[in-house]
Amino acid sequence: MTTDEVVSELVRDLKPVSPLPAPSVRAWTWGAIVAVAGSAAAAVFGLRPDLAHAATTLNFQAHTTSLLLATALASGAALLLAIPGERLARARQLAPIAAAGGWIAWLMVELGFAVGRSPAAWTIDFGWGCVGKAMTIAAVPGVALLLMVGRGAPVEVRRAVTFAALASAGVGALGVELTCPKTDAMHLLIWHAGPMVALPVVAAVAGAPLFVWWLRRRQAARS
Amino acid sequence: MGGMTPAQEHELTLLMVASQQGDCAAYDALLGGLRGVVSLYVRRRLGSAPWGEDVVQDVLFSIHRARHTWNPERPFAPWFYAVMQSRLVDAVRVHKRIGAWEEPMDVVPPVVWSQSPEADTIAQADLAQAMRQLAPAQRLVIERLKLAELSVKQVAKETGLSESNVKVIAHRGYAALKRLLAGAGYDN
């Protein structure tokens, strides 16, 4: 096919399009999806019984603030990267990672203090239930965010998918923070923070090629 | 970034706004304008690589598919260059990968020979006719290898292709040439 033929075909195929809303507007839309999915998760799993008391503690406030920041910044970054030509400054790229890292660092300090009080704090309990819960809570917001990224035209796919995974993992971790009554640092570090680290890593390694495959398949189906 | 003047960008921005609203004439003009910019950009980066035109077409397809992602309140050039750059990088990556996996193979052109000067002239005319029917990349590589008598390395340097890619294109060109000449009644 010659380039002249390509141009003619594209002109023939032209349909009016509505420009995508700004990434900030889309981030709020995603926030609304998270709120609905989070409410549904709270109804299914139930909030932790000591939530009112926990909310007054510095540890809980530090955890939720870091997680909210990481989630909001990562989702904003993913949606910004879905638009060609939008530059994500280095500071904006590092901010969600720093927020998530801040939470993990806080947990490590908590663990350090706990071990200082009693060596039993090293004990690792069985917390796969929390991992499952985090993944379940993160699923709908995660899929929604990936669809929103895919609705754009991400140029740096791996980075966009990794940030989307970090944002989704943040929702999962927040959800578990609100539903799991356990407060021992080792449990939080392994079973709450573990998925928050693992999900973006898996997304960066395996998620990006899958996402590209899905984008190509969708394009092929449309054309 | 080069390639697009402010006046051009302004004009293309207006055309893009109209294109998003479904104006076919504006879109035709937009693609016509962008095509020139893309061709120049691709030529500057790939030289005369035979797959350069494929990249130009790929960029135009990508612009078509991504046209809803451009916000009319934002400048057009960064959006356009990001799409173009991304396609170019993808294309180079794909061609490098293909080049890396392709096995070098012996390049043996078909022999067209005869026993009389008249028959030679006819054979040359048939060969020229067959050459015209080859894909542009195959024709270019065979011409540079056999008529200009350049080495595979020189052709690779000239076209921006890898050496193994040049060999593969030449090999396929010779096979196509053989088929065409066999169809014209030549045994070998």
pLDDT of residue B104: 45
CA–CA separation, B123 vs B117, rounded Å? 10
Q: Do B125 and B160 lie in a common domain?
A: yes
What per-residue confidence (pLDDT) applies to B105? 47
- The neighbour count for residue B45, using CB atoms within 10 Å, is 16
Same domain, yes or no: B93 and B11? yes
A134: number of Cβ within 10 Å: 29
B111 falls within a domain: no
**From A153, which residue of chain B is nearest by alpha-carbon distance?**
B66
* pTM for this model (two decimals): 0.74
Question: What's the number of domains chain B is made of?
Answer: 2
Report the pLDDT value the prediction gives residue B98, as an integer from 0 to 100: 61
Q: State whether B95 and B125 are in the same domain.
A: no
User: Running DSSP on this structure, what letter comes out for residue A22?
Assistant: P
Q: Is B53 on the interface with A (CB under 8 A)?
A: yes
Q: Are A59 and A105 in contact (CB under 8 A)?
A: no
Residues in chain A closer than 8 A to B62 (CB atoms): 153
Residue B136 is part of a domain; what is its CATH number?
1.10.10.10
Q: Is B43 on the interface with A (CB under 8 A)?
A: no
Residue B21, domain extent: 6-101
More confident residue, A124 or A78: A78
- Could you state, in order of their start, the residue ranges of all structural domains in chain A? 20-222
Same domain, B97 and B143: no
**Dihedral (Cα; B145, B149, B155, B158), 10-degree rounding:** -130
Q: A19 vs B80: CB contact, 8 Å cut-off?
A: no
Mean pLDDT of A177-197: 93
pLDDT tens sequence across A135-154? 999 999 999 999 999 999 99
Q: Is a pLDDT exceeding 70 seen at residue A185?
A: yes
Residue B106 falls inside a structural domain: no
Residues 6 or more apart whose CB falls under 8 angstroms from that of A212 comprise A157
Nearest residue of chain A to residue B88 (CA atoms): A155
Identify whether the C-beta of residue A171 lies closer than 8 Å to the C-beta of residue A34: yes
Nearest by CB to B27, from A11, A153, A219: name it: A11
Q: Which of A89, A121, A126 is nearest to A107 (CA)?
A: A121
Say yes or no: B94 and B169 in one domain.
Answer: no
Render pLDDT for A81-115 as a digit per residue (tens, 0 to 9). Answer: 999 998 889 999 999 999 999 999 999 999 999 99
d(CA B145, CA A130): 66
Please tell me the predicted confidence (pLDDT) of residue B1: 47
Cβ of B1 under 8 Å from any chain A Cβ?
Answer: no
Q: Are B83 and A83 within 8 A, CB to CB?
A: no
Contact: B31, A22; criterion CB under 8 Å: no
One-letter amino acid of B143:
E
- The alpha carbon dihedral of A97, A103, A105, A108 has a sign of negative
Copy the structure tokens of residue A135. 């993944």
* Position A31, amino acid: G
Best probe of the B interface among A11, A13, A216, by most B CBs < 10 A, is: A11
The answer on B63 and B17 residing in a single domain is yes
Residue B61 to residue A74: CA distance in whole angstroms: 30
Please tell me whether residues B20 and B47 are part of one structural domain: yes
Nearest by CB to A20, from B60, B69, B82: name it: B69
ipTM above 0.85, yes or no: no
Cβ within 8 Å, pair A6-B80: no
Within a domain: B136 = yes
- Substitution target from B69, B81, B93 for chain A, most A beta carbons within 10 A: B69
Task: Tell whether B169 is covered by a domain.
Answer: yes
Q: Which helix (H) or strand (E) holds B106?
A: none
Which pLDDT belongs to residue B133? 80
CATH number of the domain encompassing residue B61: 1.10.1740.10
Q: In chain A, what residues touch B58 (CB-CB under 8 Å)?
A: none
Residues B64, A15: C-beta atoms closer than 8 Å = no
pLDDT in tens, chain B (188 residues): 456 788 888 999 999 999 999 999 999 999 999 999 999 888 888 877 778 888 899 999 999 999 999 999 999 999 999 999 988 888 888 777 665 544 444 454 554 444 455 556 667 777 887 887 887 778 888 888 887 778 888 887 777 777 777 877 888 888 888 888 887 777 65
pLDDT above 80 for A37: yes
Establish if B31 belongs to a structural domain: yes
Q: What is the mean pLDDT of residues A205-210?
A: 91
